[in-house]
Structure 1
Amino acid sequence: MATMRAARLNVRTRTLELKDVPRPVPGRGQVLVRVKAAGVCLSDVHLIDGTLKPLYLEGDEVTLGHEVSGVVEEIGPDVMDPEVGDRVILQAGQTDRSGKVLTRGVDYDGGWAEYALADEETLVPIPDDLPFDQAAIIPDAVSTPWAAVTSTADVGAAEAVAVWGVGGLGAHAVKLLRLVGAAPIIAADPDPQARKRALAFGADVALDPAGSDFLSTVGEMTGGQGLNVAFDFAGVPTVREQALRVLGEHGRLVLVGLTDKPLEVRDGTRFSYLQQQILGHYGSEPEHVVQLVELVNAGRVDFASSISGTLSLEEAPMAVEQLEKRTGSPIRLVLEP
């Protein structure tokens, strides 16, 4: 039996181990992809520490990795379009026959391995000039903020926006908000490196949310009208409270960062009078990934500056540690099997 290396998480013991496992064989409607790059996400860290738990995983072990790019290696029966050698990225999840939404690398095996199994409909072709490391991070790291900006928040041109948390997702939110014409774009992060990055990605100003001038600066930047849209990519209750304070009339607070802590609206009368909204957001739809590939292909956006480092598959535990400790304030670390 052919084997491959894979980074396997035991969700019961919370241990991550590199091991040899059977190489998958594609079944009906499936393809086997030779993994070229796989992103390391904070969600992977949360799976390891137990903050995030799989809903539909069968058994105790799963190969991590929901951001995956590679080359079609083998085709199963009844596959129509892909051909061996095609360059592709994999959607970060899929819907099963019963209607459950399953996440790759969470509910079924992902791409921290030499090979990944994928249903045909989850493959998205990529152009020859799109590097695999940049392609891999499009599902989730880029598509989640893209969906938050364009679908959940429906940001319009010249709308005043702010992004709290300029990490792996928030940094891309800043870049994508610039793309859709939001103005002004305010970034908020206590990390000086993250604030510097926000300016490089297109923010008009980058502020320390704990700074004494934070509220007054937001007021000045919005002409005293407050924000049209506030994005919480940090998942921190204090961020959400601060964002609500600077929302304007008909303002939308979009919750992208995940937390199990409660959200309190301290001035409910003001919130209702200004007809504000709180919108939950999670992940993206398949079309968002396709849109981003098309935008890259058209030269509208690139993600070269998003790759903070590449490591080998065997170094997956090191990558997790670097991300967890925010060593070097990474945007995205990528594993290359």
Structure 2
Amino acid sequence: MATMRAARLNITDRTLEVTDVPRPVPGRGQVLVRVRAAGVCLSDVHLIDGTLSPLHLDEDTVTPGHEVSGVVEELGPEVLDVEVGDRVALQAGEHDRHGRVLTRGVDYDGGWAEYALAGEDTLVPIPDELSFEQAAIIPDAVSTPWAAVTATGDVRPAEAVAVWGVGGLGAHAVQLLRLVGAAPIIAADPDEHARARALEYGADVALDSTAADFLTRIGQLTHGRGLDAAFDFAGVPVVREQAVRVLGEHGRLVLVGLTDKPLEVGDGTRFSYLRQQILGHYGSEAEHVVQLVDLVRAGRLEFSRSISGAFSLEEAPKAVEQLEKRIGSPVRLVLQP
């Protein structure tokens, strides 16, 4: 039996080990992809530390990695529109026969391995000019903020917006808000490195969200009208409290960062009078990844500065530690199996 190297996470004791496992064989409608790059996401860290648990995993071990790109190695039966050698990115999840949304690398094996299985309908062709490293992070690191901005937040040109938390997703949110014409774009983060990055990615101003005059500055920057859209990528209660206070008429607060803490609206009368909204957001749809690849192909986007470091598959635990401790304030780290 052919084997391959893979990082395996035991969900019971949360241990991560790179080991030899059987190389998978594609079934009907599936392909085997030779993984060339796989992103290391904060969700992976949460899966490993126990903050996040799979809802639909059938076993007690899983190969993490929901941001994956590579080359088609082998075709299963009834695969019609894919050829061996095709360069592809993989959607971060899929629907099962019961209609449930399953996440790659959480509910079934992902891309922290030499090879990964994927349904034909989850493949996104990528152009030659798009590197595997950049292609790998588009599903989730870029597609989640893209969907938050264009779908859930429905941001229009010249709308005043703010992004709280300029990490892996928030930095891309700034870049994408610039693309759709939002103005002004205000970035908020207590980390000075994150604020500097926000300006590089296209923010008009970057503020320390812990400063005493923080909310006053947002009022000044929006000429007293408040924000049309606020994006919480931090998942911190105080962020949500701040955002609600500076929303303008018809303002939308989009919750992207995850937390199990309660959400409170201090002045419900004002919230209702201004017809404001709080909108939950999670992940993206298949078309969002396709749109982003098309924008890269058209020369409107590129993500080379988002790749903060690359590691071998054997160094997966080291990459996780670096992201968890935010060493070097990374946007995205990638594994290269």
One-letter code of the match for 2:43? S
Cα separation, 2, equivalents of 1:130 and 1:211 = 40
Cα separation, 2, equivalents of 1:327 and 1:37 = 21
Residue by residue over 1:180-203, the C-alpha shift from the partner in whole angstroms, topping out at 9 and shown as x without a partner, is: 000000000011000000000000
One-letter code of the match for 1:50? G
Per the alignment, residue 112 of structure 2 pairs with: 112
Whether 2:293 is the aligned partner of 1:290: answer: no
Cα separation, 1, equivalents of 2:49 and 2:260 = 15
Once the 2 structures are TM-superposed, how far is the Cα of residue 134 of structure 1 from its aligned partner?
0.3
Whether 2:241 is the aligned partner of 1:241: answer: yes
Residue by residue over 1:66-102, the C-alpha shift from the partner in whole angstroms, topping out at 9 and shown as x without a partner, is: 0000000000000001100000000000001111100
Per the alignment, residue 333 of structure 2 pairs with: 333
Moved over 4 A (4+): none
TM-score, normalized by length of structure 1? 1.00
1:182-197 map, 5 Å: 182-197=182-197
Q: Give the match's secondary structure for 1:169.
A: helix
How large is the Cα RMSD of the aligned pairs?
0.4
Whether 2:226 is the aligned partner of 1:226: answer: yes
Residue segments in structure 1 that go unaligned for 5+ positions in a row: none
Per the alignment, residue 92 of structure 2 pairs with: 92
One-letter code of the match for 2:238? T
Cα separation, 2, equivalents of 1:153 and 1:134 = 25
Whether 2:257 is the aligned partner of 1:252: answer: no
Cα separation, 2, equivalents of 1:334 and 1:18 = 16
One-letter code of the match for 1:43? S
Residue by residue over 1:79-129, the C-alpha shift from the partner in whole angstroms, topping out at 9 and shown as x without a partner, is: 001100000000000001111100000000000000000000000000011
Cα separation, 1, equivalents of 2:323 and 2:133 = 17
Residue segments in structure 2 that go unaligned for 5+ positions in a row: none
Q: Give the match's secondary structure for 2:288.
A: helix
Q: Give the match's secondary structure for 1:219.
A: helix
1:32-181 map, 5 Å: 32-181=32-181
Per the alignment, residue 310 of structure 1 pairs with: 310
One-letter code of the match for 2:298? A
Cα separation, 1, equivalents of 2:150 and 2:41 = 22
Cα separation, 1, equivalents of 2:269 and 2:329 = 39
One-letter code of the match for 1:302? E
Q: Give the match's secondary structure for 2:168.
A: coil
Once the 2 structures are TM-superposed, how far is the Cα of residue 288 of structure 1 from its aligned partner?
0.1
One-letter code of the match for 2:87? R
Residue by residue over 1:199-223, the C-alpha shift from the partner in whole angstroms, topping out at 9 and shown as x without a partner, is: 0000000000011221121111101
1:18-37 map, 5 Å: 18-37=18-37
- Percent of matched pairs sharing the same residue: 80
One-letter code of the match for 1:201? Y
Cα separation, 1, equivalents of 2:133 and 2:142 = 13
One-letter code of the match for 1:8? R
Cα separation, 2, equivalents of 1:149 and 1:216 = 24
Per the alignment, residue 202 of structure 1 pairs with: 202
